[in-house]
Structure formats: structure tokens, C-alpha cells
Amino acid sequence: MWRRVTSLSPVISTSKPTSLDQAALGFKIWRSSFSTETPTLVKDGPTSFKERNLFITFVLGGPGSGKGTQCHKIVETFGFKHLSAGELLRREIESNSEQWSQMLNTIKEGRIVPSEVTVKLIQQEMESSDSNKFLIDGFPRTEENRIAFEKFTGLEPNVVLFFDCPEEEMVKRVLNRNEGRVDDNIDTVKKRLKVFEILNLPVIDYYSKRGKLHKINAVGTEDEIFEKVRPIFSACAGK
């Protein structure tokens, strides 16, 4: 039986760091030097971020819920710069960066890469872009990701989108995605769904409580879903 993973009152506490939660899920933990108390990135972010008056959108949802697809439509219509956290990690793996094999194993097992790595990649992309409107797709995945992003960039999202999709539909879409991804197989998808429920729903809950969350029913055609997304940005973009 598939369930709809939309409960916003998770049994798991929202305030604990992910390493414990990942351990609770039975995962081996990728030990990183990272701790939110010992930053290796620039704490509070580069001053240029504050001067740039950025508009940040986080795009969340389970695997296959349509985040990337809707981001492309938002970019076409509203001209955001799209940063997919998963794509940035896959690019790092392909470039044989220092920790590529740990990243690859983490993704294969559906676990979450340490915040230090992901935040650094996102921050670098934001620094090198002229855009002042960013769609950050598939991040933050955990409360620890969220806290690390805020701490190191000094930024918070203006808007958070949550594509709410039944598990059965997400599984069907992922297994038909056909992009040759190492994590698009039934075993990894089951793990990713579990990780989504335990680690990502608390982040969604956090933004819901702060009035930033736009929950969108992600069942329907791509165009039907985009018609629910459009009004969220029309108000600020005049379209």
C-alpha cells in the first residue's frame, strides 16, 4: 500500500541534526568535519548577498514530484536562475572532485550529503551569477541543511514551494525518468521516500509555520500544475 506523505506533524522532532536521524534510519554516516558550530564557510554570508537584495525560492517535494520540471517552467516565464542541488552534486561527481566517491555512494543509497558540501556549491553558484532571483531546487533536504544555509549565506527564502504528490505517482515517475541516474531504481527510491518523510517534512513544516509555504497538489499535467504555480510569482513579477 502506498501512502501520501504529507503529514506536517511528524513523529520525529524537527530540531535534531540529521546525522542522528540518518543513523536512526539505519544508514552509515559519512563523517564530515562539518559542524554548524565550526564553520569552514564564511559565516553570515558574503556582504554582497545582502547588497544584492536577492529573492530566494526553495523548491521542495519528494523524488519525482516534479520539482525540476516546474523549475524549468518558472525559469521560462519568470526568468529565475535555477540551481538544482542534486545536479550540482552530480556535476561534482562527474568532475572527479575530491570526495566524488563518497558523494556517489551517498546518492546511490539515497542518503543526504553533508551540508557543508552542498551549501558551498550553492553559495558558489549564487556568487558567480548576476541574477537576483534564485530557484533552489531540492534543497534544504534536512533541518541541518536549512540551518547551515541560513548561517553561512545569511539568507532566508522569500517563498517555499512544496510539490505534494502521492508516493505511488512519485515512484512511477522516477522509474520512467530514463536519465540514467544511479538512484532512479526501486530500492533507492524506497529509501529516498523514507528520507524525504523523516528528514524533509520537518523542513516543510518549519516553513509552513512561518507562513512561507505554498503547498501545490502535484497530480495533473505539467501545464495544469504550472497554472497553480504561476499566481505565486505573478504578484511580484507583474505577469
Ligand X SMILES: Nc1ncnc2c1ncn2[C@@H]1O[C@H](COP(=O)(O)OP(=O)(O)O)[C@@H](O)[C@H]1O
Ligand Y SMILES: O=c1ccn([C@@H]2O[C@H](COP(=O)(O)OP(=O)(O)O)[C@@H](O)[C@H]2O)c(=O)[nH]1
**Footprint on this chain of ligand Y (rule: CB under 6 A):** 63-64, 67-68, 84-86, 89, 106-107, 110-113, 118, 138-139, 141, 145, 183, 192
Interior angle at CA 82, CA 173 and CA 136, nearest 5: 80
| Residues 118 and 85: beta-carbon distance below 8 Å | yes
* Per-residue x/- track, 61-100, ligand X (CB under 6 A): x-xxxxxxx-------------------------------
Using the rule CB under 6 A, is 45 a contact of ligand X? no
| Closest separation in Å from C-beta 10 to ligand Y | 19
Measuring CA to CA, how many Å separate 60 from each of 28, 89, 106?
A: 25, 17, 19
Nearer to ligand X, 143 or 184 (CB): 184
Using the rule CB under 6 A, is 186 a contact of ligand X? no
Nearer to ligand Y, 3 or 177 (CB): 177
* Per-residue x/- track, 64-103, Mg ion (CB under 5 A): ---xx-----------------------------------
Q: Which of 112, 131, 165 is nearest to 56 (CA)?
A: 131
| Partner interacting with residue 173 (select from ligand X, ligand Y, Mg ion, none; CB below 5-8 Å by kind) | ligand X
Using the rule CB under 6 A, is 225 a contact of ligand X? yes
DSSP output for 9-39: S-SS-SSS-HHHHHHHTTPPP---S--TTS-
| Closest separation in Å from C-beta 239 to ligand Y | 26
* Number of amino acids touching Mg ion (CB under 5 A): 2
Q: Which of 5, 34, 39 is nearest to 17 (CA)?
A: 34
Is 155 in a helix, a strand, or coil? Answer: coil
| Partner interacting with residue 123 (select from ligand X, Mg ion, ligand Y, none; CB below 5-8 Å by kind) | none
Q: 84-104 burial, b for 16+ CB within 10 Å, e for fewer?
A: bbbebbbebbeeeeeeeebbb
| Closest separation in Å from C-beta 193 to ligand X | 12
The span from the CA of 143 to the CA of 206, in Å, is 9
Nearer to ligand X, 65 or 153 (CB): 65
| Residues 87 and 183: beta-carbon distance below 8 Å | no
